[in-house]
Amino acid sequence: MTNQTEKDGRELWRLTRLFLKLGTIAFGGPAAHIAMMRNEVVERRRWMEEQEFLDLVGASNLIPGPNSTELAIHLGRVRAGWRGLLVAGACFILPATLIVLAFAWAYARYGSTPQAEGLLYGITPVVVAIIIHALWGLLRTAVKGPFLAVVGAVALVLYFLGVGEIPLLFGGALLVLSVRIVQRRRGSGAVAVAPFGLPLGLLALPSASTGLVGLFLSFLKIGAVLFGSGYVLLAFFRSEFVGPGLLSDQELLDAVAVGQVTPGPVFTTATFVGYLLAGVPGALLATVGIFLPAFVFVAITGPLIPRLRESPILAGLLDGANVVSLALMAGVTWQLGQASVFEPIPALIALVSLVLLFRTEINPVWLVTGGGVIGLISWIFLV
């Protein structure tokens, strides 16, 4: 019993160190976070195989909430049970929450947010390189034949044509599932992908109720029903807080900007908004409220993932979600590259990072740090 307790303690400590580190240096949004997690748990630590990691990515995309945070929670659950679930998720969220809280304090006190352009000037091309490296490894596992390759290619084209992430994810998953059913000439039973009844019921909650309890419920509702990117988050926040007059449009845009330029989950935008509305208590309640559903959904759906993979037919659901998830990552990478890499210095940073990732086993932490330093120096001289 003592040996098992010591083993569990070591696993929790490993999860704590890993996800505190990732929460501190994981710039670039969910695609970059997923790439960094893959590097750590599949390549460097070998905690799981590529297929298991891919299945967790696909499952995270099929439930509401912040995808990369849910992936961190899944990884903790697989590694150390319910305690690992809590530790990994909390440690990934905590650094970003503290950083955003500091930004919110500076914003409320001085009327503006600290500038981060120089840092991002060097970090973003490193993030692009990290995602490309991860995609190369994940695609070899996800694309299991011509049909899945076509599904991924079509999803990528539709993404660039403006089709939303959620229709693509569920459409791809259901298409592959349907083809598998037809191939095996079996009828399909009801498939429960996620516990949607509870989150959809939360839509009935009133918008932006007064007081700390009302604030918590507003963010709980958003966290329980929100699919998609930080821009979707912007739409939800605008309806919930700008409409009733609690925030101005400019304050909301500043909040989302801070969520985008700080490391860790973009959903920590909620920390900034909560601080503007009710100080530190509001920031803490907003953060807990928006992330709590992710922990609940992962706890409920996590045990179902191996069963889906074991079923020859239902595995199609995961295969479809996996290949579309990678198509979306590729689309985001292209957009990031267009915005940030087509200048000499960022292009050189991205190229050197890519070569190092493919030729060595360098830890991406050093690449992110080095990119940030080069970006700051370059920005000072350019400005």
Looking at residue 62, the DSSP 8-state letter turns out to be T
pLDDT band for 330, please (50, 70, 90 cuts): confident
- Predicted pLDDT at 4: 64
Q: What is the pLDDT of residue 78?
A: 93
Confidence of residue 275 (pLDDT cuts 50, 70, 90): very high
For the ranges 190-199, 286-295, 307-316, the one whose mean pLDDT is highest: 286-295
| Choice between 116 and 34, residue whose per-residue pLDDT is larger | 34
* Predicted pLDDT at 203: 43
Closest CA to 164 of 231, 211, 214, 256: 231
DSSP readout, 30-51? HHHHHHHHHIIIIIIS--S-HH
Asked if pLDDT for residue 364 goes beyond 50, the answer is yes
The ranges assigned to domains in the chain are 2-116+146-192+300-332
What whole-number distance in Å separates Cα of residue 107 and Cα of residue 96?
Answer: 16
If you average pLDDT over residues 147-151, what whole number do you get?
A: 92
1: DSSP letter: -
Residue in the structure block whose two tokens are 């739409």: 235
**Orientation angle between helical segments 117-142 and 30-38, nearest 10 degrees:** 60
CA atoms within 13 A on the CB side of 58: 32
Predicted local confidence at residue 192, as pLDDT: 41
What's the pLDDT at 84? 95
Query: What pLDDT score was predicted for residue 189?
Result: 43
Residue 381: closest CA among 336, 345, 349, 340: 345
Res 346: pLDDT? 87
pLDDT band at 365 (very low <50, low <70, confident <90, very high): confident
Which residues have CB under 8 Å from 203's CB, separation 6+? 221, 225
The more confident residue out of 117 and 378 is 378
Q: What is the pLDDT of residue 157?
A: 93
Q: Of all residues in the chain, what percent carry a pLDDT higher than 70?
A: 84
pLDDT of residue 360: 86
User: Per-residue pLDDT tens for 59-117?
Assistant: 887 788 888 899 999 999 999 999 999 999 999 999 999 999 998 898 887 765 555 56
Sign of CA dihedral 251, 255, 260, 262: positive
Q: What is the pLDDT of residue 379?
A: 76
Whether residue 198 is predicted with pLDDT greater than 80 in this model: the reply is no
Residue 42 has pLDDT above 90, yes or no: yes
* Residue 368 structure tokens: 């992110």
Instruction: Kindly report which listed range (41-45, 115-119, 320-324, 334-338) carries the lowest average pLDDT score.
Output: 115-119
Average pLDDT over residues 204-225: 76
Cite the DSSP H helix spans in 143-210. Answer: 146-160, 165-184, 197-201
Which one has a higher pLDDT value, 159 or 185?
159
Average pLDDT, whole number, for the chain? 81
CA–CA separation, 10 and 8 (whole Å): 5
- When pLDDT is averaged across residues 1-6 and rounded to a whole number, the result is 62
Residues belonging to the chain: 383
Residue 195, pLDDT score: 39
pLDDT above 80 (res 191) = no
